Amino acid sequence: MIRQISEFKYLAPEEYSSPFSTNFTIQDPISVLHMSNFLTNIPEYFSKPPSSVSNNSTSDEADTQQNDIIGERKRRRMISNRESARRSRIRKQRQLDELLSQLVHLRTDNQSIMEHLKQLAERHEKALEENERLKEETTDIRQKLDEIQQPNISSEIIS
């Protein structure tokens, strides 16, 4: 069976069965010359890279086709990268908006807490003042009580 790969024909060894006898001889001198040239040129034919075996127009078309494929891939990658960058910018803007919202909320909470703390500090100061006043009043009352009780004690001692 003859197979063809990029302009190169060969016989598949496992499927090859020759209709000719393997013991044949060529009697015609011209045929011998042609066969000799063919056999000496086989190594050159096989040593050439496949791109040089085909003609230049096919090679140019293949290169152009490959460049088109590469260009299309680059274009798709560039579009994908732009979309990714756009999504990233949108995500970043959302995060920034969320952070700004949190900032406003936290500042409001902070202001509320500071006002509450100020009220508590004022109450604490009033409580300290009241405590000090009550201590002074207690001291005054004890002194008066002591004064009242001392004349009674001295009169009891005399009697």
> Can you give the pLDDT at residue 81?
97
Could you tell me if 16 and 1 are in contact, meaning their C-beta atoms sit under 8 angstroms apart?
yes
Could you tell me if 9 and 53 are in contact, meaning their C-beta atoms sit under 8 angstroms apart?
no
Distance CA 124, CA 62 (A): 90
> Can you give the pLDDT at residue 62?
87
Q: Which residues contact 53 (CB under 8 A, 6 or more apart)?
A: 6, 7, 8, 45
Could you tell me if 52 and 41 are in contact, meaning their C-beta atoms sit under 8 angstroms apart?
no
- The SS3 of residue 48 is coil
> Can you give the pLDDT at residue 58?
82
> Can you give the pLDDT at residue 130?
98
Share of the chain above pLDDT 90, in %: 50
As a whole number, mean pLDDT of residues 128-145 equals 96
Question: Residue 8: is its pLDDT beyond 50?
Answer: no
Q: Which residues make beta-bridge pairs with 8? A: 5
Go through the chain and tell me how many residues it has. Answer: 159
> Can you give the pLDDT at residue 21?
47
Distance CA 124, CA 49 (A): 97
Could you tell me if 37 and 30 are in contact, meaning their C-beta atoms sit under 8 angstroms apart?
no
What would the pLDDT profile of 75-132 be if each residue is shown by its tens digit? Answer: 999 999 999 999 999 999 999 999 999 999 999 999 999 999 999 999 999 999 999 9
In this prediction the pTM is 0.42
Q: DSSP string spanning 19-69?
A: SS-SS-----HHHHHHHHHHHHHHHHHHHS-HHHHS-HHHHHHHHHHHHHH
Question: Residue 50: is its pLDDT beyond 70?
Answer: no
The secondary element (H helix, E strand) that includes residue 11 is strand 8-11
Higher pLDDT, 121 or 64: 121
